[in-house]
Structure 1
Amino acid sequence: MTLSSTVLPTADRSVNVLALGLLRQPATVLFGPGQRRQLPRLVAEIARHVLVVTDARMAASAEFTEMVSGLDAVGVRVSVFGETEPELPERDVAALVDRFAGQGIGAVVGLGGGSCMDLAKVAAVVLPSSADVREFHGEFRVPGPGLPIITVPTTGGTGAEVTCISVLFDEDKGMKVGVASPHLQARITVIDPEFTLSCPPGLTAATAADALSHLVESFTGRAKNPTADALAGTLYAGKNLLTDLFARHGLLLMSRSLPRLAADPQDLSARSEVMLAAYCAGMAINTAGTAGAHAIQSPIGALTHTPHGFGVSALLPAVMRYNLPSRVPEFAEIADILGVAVAGQDEQDQARSGILGIEALLETIGAPLDLASLGLPVEQFGFVADQALLATRLTANNPRPLTREAIMAILEHGHAGDRSWWG
């Protein structure tokens, strides 16, 4: 498909003219190998009965047993919901509430990957009330604070430990929906890279690809320059000075740690840097938001049942090329950060080197770079485009306007694995 200038608006460059900086973050963040052992002391300071939300794999682990024993030793009663499913269907929320409503839960611990932490965050606002989680779909729909939230990630990728949004799969609508509110912000986050040493290779690659996509999309996203009134009711305020600080550092960490992790999955130093990069990515997207690749991935994931991280990885080459005309300076800076800029290049060529550098990192960890490898049928492109356009909280963050024609072009080039500079 050729993009028509009569249909697709000319690429415009949004700039942070307000010099705005905005972060939302947990009150306490503890990072480092072995730091999970601090969790009982931290939890005991805020609750005597906690609900631990996790999945079957983690619930059967030695680390989980150690954590529960530690909480019990300081007098904290522990209840467990250990059946969190991937991609977090909303039925998991209903099952949790049916089991634990009225049980005197004082805080909620999310232990695991993104779905476990997202479920914990939603549970913290639904358990104290009689509300249906569907009442909270969208931004700023949660009426007030819920139970204290403690997040403990066991993968290096989603950033859910520090974001104030939970993504759920609405089975009636057949699409992902978001519950986005500052009231979902964790009170305490404990990030222990030792958890990731037992992470399977496929999950390691998918979550690392997800984190890398967060860094790229937050750094190259739209700067929105919101008014004071708009800022008071907007979760995603756009690319800003403070999110750029985290995105830059996360990209630097990824550039030096992903090749080492691919070479040796037991390299704790590399695992630690990837997990720190994922934290940086979470801090960035918490106010900058994700953009086109995430909007388009959601319906692709529903159709192909492929991991979220692999979906955004497969989309990134085409999405980055489409966005390049609006973000040449940012992609050029990415080339500098990754150490792939070539002396004497002009800014346009350096920007292209930045894109190629991101793709090389994805290839290093074995993440896919084309949509055909996900099994996406060509005849479903129209459905994917229509569904992606419904994700307005994400499409609004894309630096170049996303029309149906533009998304169809991204899908066609992405499916063909076309890595020419078509955008």
Structure 2
Amino acid sequence: MSGGNELGLGLLRQPSTVLFGPGQRRQLPALVAAHGDRALLCTDERMAGEPVFHELAEAMRGRGIEVSVYSKVEPDLPRGNLLDVAEVHAGARFDVVVGIGGGSVLDFAKLAAILLARGGDVGELYGENMVPGPGSPLITVPTTAGTGAEVTCISVVFDPDKGMKIGVASPHLEAAAAVIDPELTLTCPPGLTTATGADALSHLVEAFTGRAKNPSPREIEDHLYIGKNLLTDLYCREGLALVNTSFARVVADPSDLGARADTMRAAFSAGMAINTAGTAGAHAIQSPIGALTHTAHGLGVGALLPYVMRFNLPERVAEFAEIGRILGVATQEASPEAQAHEGIRRIEDLLGTLGCPLNLKDLGLEPRHFDKVAEQALLATRLTANNPRELDHGSIVAILERGYADDRSPWTV
């Protein structure tokens, strides 16, 4: 399977404004005021109780902004949250929607900005390019370093009727502005730091080793995820270099603001990459595993990554070899295959540094689940289409078997 970018294409999709750096949250009232004087702040119960959240809300009110708060967003964004906000704020009109929180909060804010402005049900928006038009302007303020949701134009919703997570992907979900302040991650609990860090690393690896699709102009117009390209690769290289040192520093000292900033910039870089390149096999397989085991998304993709990387290696020797060089564990003098194996082992070391499980048994997955997981994973065609090596039922089951057995031996073709 060819993976080359024969077109020499570079393409990014991104917010109009990105503010990055310690203390930049203080720019939020001015950004909100530029859009109007009625704002809906979306968050979860934990963040709503933090003094910094109240400080931001009061600073907006000090600018003459009428602030409403929705603070009931739950992890893994259940569809019910979106039904609830539509009921609570039925008939209300907001000049701007602000999401302050982790990935689920930001995904919620993206969809709330659409549904409160245009009406309808989120179930009508599932899939790619099903959002009929823009919603209210959106500002994203992440409080974790991992999902990249502050800059991506996708939201993932858990639909209990379907028993699975479903994506809503549309350029209309893109934020008008993202405010990325590493100080907001200083209170991030260790378990959340682990899960979000593993998520960011998986984004970087899957975007860098995914398919380059050489899209036509019409395909670029019709699809969000048109494959890895020159510009997404730049962000992946930057993000990989950052996590190579920042993960150990964050674990050693969670109050290290420089380490938090580097990790958050890596997560932002990963978000910039997947917003065009998309994610791939590990994300497709994790979704049904998460539904079965009720484990965090980041831990699931992290536990899968060692086995998916080895499955994909025969198609991506050059990319994994470059990862080895970026991470400082491979030299040009070694063979490409040796460099690639070193790169994969270093990725595993980084996951281990975070405290991420490195096999599927530790997640609670059982062999009796394998067939169901494979069937569900293949439904995520948006993700499987990005995987550099063809995935089918048998290959997914083989990945699961190796992941369950903690078998990290080389995968032969």
Could you say whether these structures have the same fold, taking a TM-score greater than 0.5 normalized by the shorter chain as the test? yes
The 8 Å contact of residues 315 and 389 in structure 2, kept in 1 or not, is answered as yes
Q: Which residue pairs with 2:33 in the alignment?
A: 44
Q: Which residue pairs with 1:245 in the alignment?
A: 234
Which of 184, 208, 213 is the aligned partner of 2:202?
Answer: 213
Which of 367, 377, 401 is the aligned partner of 2:390?
Answer: 401
Q: Which residue pairs with 1:153 in the alignment?
A: 142
3-state SS of the aligned residue for 2:178? strand
Q: Which residue pairs with 1:129 in the alignment?
A: 118
| TM-score of the aligned structures, taking structure 1 as reference length | 0.96
3-state SS of the aligned residue for 2:140? strand
1:322 Cα deviation after fit: 0.1
Query: How many angstroms apart in 2 are the aligned matches of 1:371 and 1:267?
Result: 31
Query: How many angstroms apart in 1 are the aligned matches of 2:333 and 2:117?
Result: 61
Query: How many angstroms apart in 1 are the aligned matches of 2:87 and 2:280?
Result: 35
Q: Which residue pairs with 1:3 in the alignment?
A: none
1:385-415 alpha-carbon deviations (Å, 9 max, x no partner) = 0000000000000000001111000000011
Q: Which residue pairs with 2:290 in the alignment?
A: 301
The 8 Å contact of residues 101 and 128 in structure 1, kept in 2 or not, is answered as no
Q: Which residue pairs with 1:113 in the alignment?
A: 102
Q: Which residue pairs with 1:176 in the alignment?
A: 165
Query: How many angstroms apart in 2 are the aligned matches of 1:221 and 1:292?
Result: 9
Segments of structure 2 that go 5 or more residues without pairing to the other structure are: none
The 8 Å contact of residues 13 and 327 in structure 1, kept in 2 or not, is answered as no
The one-letter code sitting in structure 1 at the alignment partner of 2:230 is L
Q: Does 1:347 align with 2:311?
A: no
Q: Does 1:138 align with 2:110?
A: no
Query: How many angstroms apart in 1 are the aligned matches of 2:200 and 2:352?
Result: 15
The one-letter code sitting in structure 2 at the alignment partner of 1:246 is Y
**In percent, how many aligned pairs have the same letter?**
62
Q: Which residue pairs with 1:326 in the alignment?
A: 315
Query: How many angstroms apart in 2 are the aligned matches of 1:118 and 1:422?
Result: 36
Query: How many angstroms apart in 2 are the aligned matches of 1:117 and 1:289?
Result: 18
1:105 Cα deviation after fit: 1.3
The one-letter code sitting in structure 1 at the alignment partner of 2:137 is P
Q: Which residue pairs with 1:291 in the alignment?
A: 280
Q: Which residue pairs with 1:94 in the alignment?
A: 83
Query: How many angstroms apart in 2 are the aligned matches of 1:16 and 1:363?
Result: 32
Q: Which residue pairs with 1:368 in the alignment?
A: 357
3-state SS of the aligned residue for 1:390? coil
Which of 324, 332, 335 is the aligned partner of 2:324?
Answer: 335
3-state SS of the aligned residue for 2:168? strand
The 8 Å contact of residues 101 and 143 in structure 2, kept in 1 or not, is answered as yes
Q: Which residue pairs with 2:268 in the alignment?
A: 279
Query: How many angstroms apart in 2 are the aligned matches of 1:151 and 1:231?
Result: 25
1:343 Cα deviation after fit: 6.0
1:144-199 alpha-carbon deviations (Å, 9 max, x no partner) = 11100000000000000000000001111101101100000000100000011000
Query: How many angstroms apart in 2 are the aligned matches of 1:128 and 1:270?
Result: 39
What is the Cα-based RMSD across aligned positions, in Å? Answer: 0.8
Q: What is the aligned residue count?
A: 412
Which of 264, 268, 290 is the aligned partner of 2:257?
Answer: 268
Q: Which residue pairs with 1:227 in the alignment?
A: 216
Q: Which runs of 4+ in 1 moved over 3 A?
A: none
The one-letter code sitting in structure 2 at the alignment partner of 1:18 is L
1:269 Cα deviation after fit: 0.2
The one-letter code sitting in structure 1 at the alignment partner of 2:311 is Y
